[in-house]
A and B are shown apart, each in its own frame.
Chain A
Amino acid sequence: MAEQTNTPANLKVTIDNITVEVAPGTTILQAARQIGGDVTPPAMCYYSKLEGSGGKCRTCLVEVAAGSAADPRPMPKLVASCRTPIAEGMIVKNITSDRVQEARAGVVEFLLVNHPLDCPVCDQAGECHLQDLGYEHGKEGTRYEFKRRTFEPEDIGPYIQLHMNRCILCYRCTYVADQLTDNRVHGVLDRGDHANISTHISKAIENNFCGNMIDVCPVGALTDKTFRFKNRVWFTKPVEAHRDCDQCCGKVTLWQRGEDVLRVTARKDEWGEVQSHEGKPGWICNTCRFEKKKASDWVIEGPTKINRHSVIAQGHYLGLKKPTETLPAVMDGRDPKLMMDIHSVSEVNRVDISELPGPATSENFKK
C-alpha cells in the first residue's frame, strides 16, 4: 500500500502532554513505557514477549483525543493501549483523562468482584499485580453482595499450583504453552463467567519450559509448588545469579532466606515481565527453576534491583533519599543555650561524652 511506503521512520505521539518519538508499529502502551512513570497504563494481560497477548483485561484503556495529524478526530471509545498502534500526531490521554480513570476503576472493580481476596494465604501476595492495580486504581470497599464464584480445584502436576478462583483470565499462560512448549495441554475452557484455565482431564503440565507460566501469571492463580507456603516474598532476599545451562539462558533471580534458596524465578524488568538478555526473552527451564535450590548451584552476581513499587521494593531501600540538612542548617543561625549542665545536677554520669574520641561504649562508664 502506498501509504505505508511514505510513513516516516519516526512517529510523534503525545501522551498526557508529553511528546515522544517512536518507530512505526509501536503501540500506545509501548510508547508510554518509553516515557515511563505514571503516564504508563497498567497492563494485566498484555505481555510484550508473548505474541497475541493483550486486549483482554481492559486496564490499559486510554482516551485517544486525536487519531492522527492527518485525521485529528478523537476516537469515540476508549481503546486498549496495548493493542492500538501509534499514528503520526496521535494525542493520547491517560492520567489526564477522567474518563480513563473512571473506566479503569470500573475494570478493577470487575476484576475483584469474583476474586477471593485471599491475599493473606496467597503466595503471590507482595508481588501480585492485582494487588498493585487495586491499590493504585481501585476504589475502597466493594459493592458486590453475592457469593463469589468458585471452581473445583484441579491438580496440574508436581510443579505448578493452580488456583482458578484467583485467575483473571489474562490468557498469558496459554500463550506460554503455545509459544514456549511443543504441546499445550491446558487452555481456557467453558465460557463467559465460568471460563476457566484447565486441562479438562487433570493432566500434569510437565513440559520443560512450563514453569514460565508461573512467572507470567499476574496473580496467584499459578504459583510455584516447590515454594508453596514456604515464606512471604517480602521476607526473602532476591539476588541475581547464573549458571551454565544447556537448555535456557541460566540467568535467574534466587529468592533467599539466609543461605537457603527458597525459590528460583526468571529475572523481571520494571514492568514485571521476564527480562531480555541479548535481545531474547530470558525464559528459564524447569531444571534451573525447580531443581537447583542450593546457593552452591549458582554464581551469585549480587542483590536484585527491584524497580517495581511492590512491598518487596520497600524492604530494599532503593532510591532512598538521606536528609541533606546538616545541624547548622536546621538551627538556621539560632544558638540556643542549654538550660542546664547535666554534670551539675547528676552524680551518675561523670563521663563527659563530648570529650570521648569515638562513640561511647560501656567501657567508658566502668570507672
Chain B
Amino acid sequence: MPVQFSDTALAEVKRLVARYPEGKQKSALLPVLHLAQDEFGGWLSTEILDYVASVLKITPIEVYEVATFYSMYNLKPVGKHVFEVCQTGPCMLNGSDEIIDYIKEKLGIRPGETTTDGLFTLKTVECLGACGYAPMMQMGKHYREHLTREQVDQIIAESRK
C-alpha cells in the first residue's frame, strides 16, 4: 500500500508550509516528519521518508540527512509505549540509574529493545529539561516526573490496560 497522508494531515502540511516565505517549504521538514511519525505508527521507514520528500518537493537525501540527525525520529519500529528515561547528570544525582535498572528488570529488556509483545520500548536518553523533577521519563507527548519504583509499576500497569 502506498504511503499517503490523511486529508487532515495534508491540510496540516499546507498550514505548516504557509508559515514560511515562498519557496522555503523545506523549513517545514521537522514538523512534517513529526506529523508523519504520529500518522504512520511511530516510526519512519525509508518509504515514508521518500514520501515526505515528495510532499515537500525536496530530494530524498535532504530528508534522510535530517531524519538521521535528530534523536526523536525513530528509524526502526518501536513498541506501543516508549519509555525514554533521562540519564544525564541531574537525573543521575536523583537516582535515574536505579530507575533504569528497575525498568530493565521489570520489562526484561535492555535500553534500545522492545518487549516481545510489542508493547514497550525502553530508551535511555539525554537531558530532557526536567532536572528539577528528576528522575523522569518521556512517554509520548508527556513527561512522567519524580519517578519511583511504585510509579513505574503503576505506569506499566496503566499501559497494559
Contacts and interface: CB of A to CB of B under 8 A. Distances in A.
B61 A186 contact: yes
A200 B69 contact: no
A188 interface: yes
A183 B59 contact: yes
Interface string A177-220: 00000011111111100000001110000000000000000000
A183 B69 CA distance: 21
Contacts of B46: 200-201
A191 B59 contact: no
Contacts of B7: none
Contacts of B65: 187-189
B154 interface: no
A191 B61 contact: no
Given A200-B64, A201-B46, A184 B59 contact: yes
A191 B64 contact: no
A185 B61 contact: yes
Contacts of A186: 61
Contacts of B64: 187, 189, 200-201
Contacts of A189: 64-65, 68-69
A187 B53 CA distance: 15
Nearest to A198: B64
Interface in B60-86: 60-62, 64-65, 68-69
Interface in B93-123: none
Contact of A184 (B61, B68, B69): B61
Contacts of A187: 61-62, 64-65
A9 B89 CA distance: 54
A189 B69 CA distance: 7
Nearest to B62: A187
- Size category of the B interface is under 10
A181 to B, nearest CB: 11
Contacts of A185: 59-61
Contacts of A191: 68-69
A174 B4 CA distance: 30
Contacts of A200: 46, 60-61, 64, 68
A165 to B, nearest CB: 18
B112 to A, nearest CB: 14
B153 to A, nearest CB: 35
Contacts of B60: 185, 200-201
Contacts of B59: 183-185
A85 B113 CA distance: 50
B46 to A, nearest CB: 6
B72 to A, nearest CB: 13
Contacts of B69: 189-191
B63 to A, nearest CB: 9
Interface string B35-67: 000000000001000000000000111101100
A188 B66 CA distance: 9
B1 to A, nearest CB: 20
A199 B61 CA distance: 7
Nearest to B63: A200
A190 B61 contact: no
Nearest to B69: A191
B59 to A, nearest CB: 7
B62 to A, nearest CB: 8
A200 B46 CA distance: 9
A187 B61 CA distance: 7
A349 to B, nearest CB: 78
Nearest to A200: B64
9 nearest A-B residue pairs (beta carbon):
A200-B64, A189-B68, A187-B65, A187-B61, A190-B68, A191-B69, A185-B61, A184-B61, A189-B64
25 contacts: A183-B59, A184-B59, A184-B61, A185-B59, A185-B60, A186-B61, A187-B61, A187-B62, A187-B64, A187-B65, A188-B65, A189-B64, A189-B65, A189-B68, A189-B69, A190-B68, A190-B69, A191-B68, A199-B61, A200-B60, A200-B61, A200-B64, A200-B68, A201-B46, A201-B64
Given A187-B64, A200-B64, A200-B68, 18 more contacts: A184-B61, A185-B59, A185-B60, A185-B61, A186-B61, A187-B62, A187-B65, A188-B65, A189-B64, A189-B68, A190-B68, A190-B69, A191-B68, A191-B69, A199-B61, A200-B46, A201-B46, A201-B64
